[in-house]
Structure 1
Amino acid sequence: MKSILDNRPALAAEINKVAEVAGYLWQKGWAERNGGNITVNITEHVDDDIRAMAPISEVKAIGTTLPHLKGCYFYCKGTNMRMRDLARWPMDNGSVIRILDDCASYVIIADKPVAPTSELPSHLSVHNYLIAKGSPYKASVHTHPIELVAITHTDKFLKKDVASRLLWSMIPETKAFCPRGLGIIPYKLPSSVELADATIKELEEYDVVMWEKHGVFAVDCDVMAAFDQIDVLNKSCLIYIAARNMGFEPDGMSDEQMDEMRVAFNLPK
């Protein structure tokens, strides 16, 4: 069967990155069953032939109007699809969608009529926000990192920037590679409008936000960079938990040491 990826190396490379990240999420135990979602804005890789493709689905309502997405194209993980399967067969477990001119509906154009994630309105709302603010970010990743989710089961880490400060202090690379830290969103119903709105608000300050007792949502220039930020934060969390399991509260880097890092790497305060 002919694929939209055939003879389009740049587009294929982006989708292959999604497949690679999906494999990592499964291997780490962060994507149980059909858990997690990935959505990537692929508009820059769309040519005239793709724009001329007939839809392979009926018109589907997004559920909200997103004016900055007019004419955009996205690769989306399919609803009820498993990350471990997407890693092997990305175009059987996800699809390419076109946002229609009304900015409130979409059609699937390739490769198969795989219905996108049920959280599509939330993901697209984030992408609408990113385009509106002129962000270069194209990818959004939602997953369930075990240790990061675990620390949200106590109020200690739910106060603003407490978790960020702790995680930055565990290993220098965390401040360097996730300089904006970790935003915290109190528990809200998964897939709800309230959760989507809260996520967009937190993304004004953070690139990675933590949904209490649920998972993380990260944005970045591509799917690999978004994964890297989650991976770095969870490594710091693992270091903290390892120290606690050895029977002590880790000292962490001092404020002076982290400020030295900030200056050396030209990082934001």
Structure 2
Amino acid sequence: MKDFIESPYVRDMAKTTNNLYRHGWDERNGGNVSLRLTKEEVEAFSGTDKVLREIPIKFDASELAGKYYLVTGTGRYFKNMIDYPERDMGLVRISDAGNRVDLMWGFNDGGEPTSEFPAHLMSHIERLKQNPNQRVIMHCHPTNLVAMTFTVPLSSKRFSRTLWKMHPESIVVFPEGIGVIPYMCPGTNEIGEKTAAKMRDFRVVVWPHHGVFAAGDSLDETYGLVETVEKSALIYTTIQQQGGVILQSITDKDFRDLIKRFDLKPNEEFLTPDAATELVK
């Protein structure tokens, strides 16, 4: 039986965090990722059968009692994770009481889960209610999307329609649109609660002037979701750099054609244009 460090979960986490760093979305110790694993997936590898440490968490996660999460560590640089996975990430199990986690592997220098871990767990709870296959929460700082939060009104509908109009892939990849919350102090349960409430309807939630929280079935799928949102934001930014004059764009009829072609279930509220949300005519 192979040790857990040789598992595809550690490998994929290291690869994904390295890609996030190389994209410039997770500078210094910015960003965090958590991946839910099943008991069977964990027990298929050695070195995960005893509790190494008990780590308190400032959130009642009893709703997730017994679940395992591979999570990045607080204060860790994503650029280093590919070289030091057993130091910079850890496998934890939520205790029955929900007020601590049991460390089963990793954080071998005394580290702990990201300070945003309570916010991750809140979003995991909400996404599990929507889709039991959802197992990833990813927080990162996509440059062009963050820049938009300084110049575009902080409206979920306005952001969603603007990004949809930048590229036909957008409505295909995130037909529900994206959620936007007000600016809030990061690292608090309050921002976690606000984010989780939006996660009931959206897989991507924008933290203005900061970054995004995104949810998905796998690390690749979640990464691709953020990548698509950021590509549309990049196109929008490029248009503004070219003078911001739009002569033609994807229309509402084009949206309907895409919905029919790809059998989408879009956010009908966001499909209806109005003067307040039409940044891109």
TM-score by length of 2: 0.87
Instruction: State whether residues 31 and 83 of structure 1, in contact with CA within 8 Å, keep that contact through their aligned partners in structure 2.
Output: yes
Deviates more, 1:239-248 or 1:203-212: 239-248
Moved more, 128-137 or 256-265: 128-137
Q: Which residue of 2 aligns with 1:116?
A: 113
Q: How is 1:99-138 mapped onto 2 (pairs within 5 angstroms)?
A: 99-111=94-106, 112=108, 113-138=110-135
Q: For 2:172, which of 176, 200, 212 is the aligned residue? A: 176
Report how far residue 68 of structure 1 moved.
Answer: 2.6
Q: Residue 84 and residue 51 in structure 1: after superposition, are their counterparts in 2 closer, same or farther (change >3 A)?
A: closer
Q: Say if 2:4 and 2:48, in contact at 8 Å, map to a contact too.
A: no
Q: Do 1:37 and 1:141's aligned partners in 2 also have CA atoms closer than 8 Å? A: yes
Closer/same/farther in 2, CA of residues 49 and 222 from structure 1, 3 Å limit: closer
Write the deviation string for residues 105-151 of structure 1: whole angstroms up to 9, x where unpaired.
11211132431111111111222233344531000100000100001
Residue 23 of structure 1 deviates from its aligned partner by 1.3
State how far apart, in whole Å, the 2-side matches of 1:186 and 1:267 are: 29
Separation of aligned partners in 2, 1:160 and 1:49: 42
**Any idea what the Cα deviations from partners look like across 1:201-232, whole Å, max 9, x if unmatched?**
11111100100111000000011111111110
Supply the distance in 2 between the matched residues of 1:15 and 1:49 (Cα, whole angstroms): 12
Question: 2:189 matched to 1:189?
Answer: no
Query: Contact conserved, 2:75 with 2:114, CA < 8 A, in 1?
Result: yes
Query: How far 1:18 sits from its partner (Å)?
Result: 1.5
Q: 1:63 aligns with which of 50, 58, 70?
A: 58
Structure 1 residue 4 corresponds to structure 2 residue 4:
yes
- 2:67 pairs with one of 68, 72, 96: 72
Normalized against structure 1, the TM-score is what?
0.90
The CA deviation at 1:64 is 2.1
SS in 2 for 1:96: strand
Unaligned runs of 5+ in 1: 7-11
Cα drift, residue 20 of structure 1? 1.5
1:255 — aligned with what?
252
Query: Contact 2:141 / 2:210 at 8 angstroms: preserved in 1?
Result: yes
- Correspondence list, 1:184-263, <5 A: 184-250=180-246, 251-263=248-260
Residue 50 to residue 121, structure 1, CA distance change in 2 (3 Å): farther
Indicate the residue corresponding to 2:276 in structure 1. none
Secondary structure of 1:106's match? Answer: strand
- Larger deviation: 68-77 or 48-57? 48-57
Q: What SS does structure 2 have at the residue aligned with 1:142? A: strand
Aligned residue number for residue 9 of structure 1: none
SS in 2 for 1:219: strand
The CA distance in 2 between the partners of 1:209 and 1:216, in whole Å, is 6
Indicate yes or no: 2:81 matched with 1:86: yes
The alpha carbon displacement at 1:263 in A equals 1.2
Structure 2 alignment gaps of length 5 or more: 267-281
Structure 2 residue matching 1:257: 3-state secondary structure: helix
Cα drift, residue 84 of structure 1: 0.6
CA drift at 1:267: 0.9
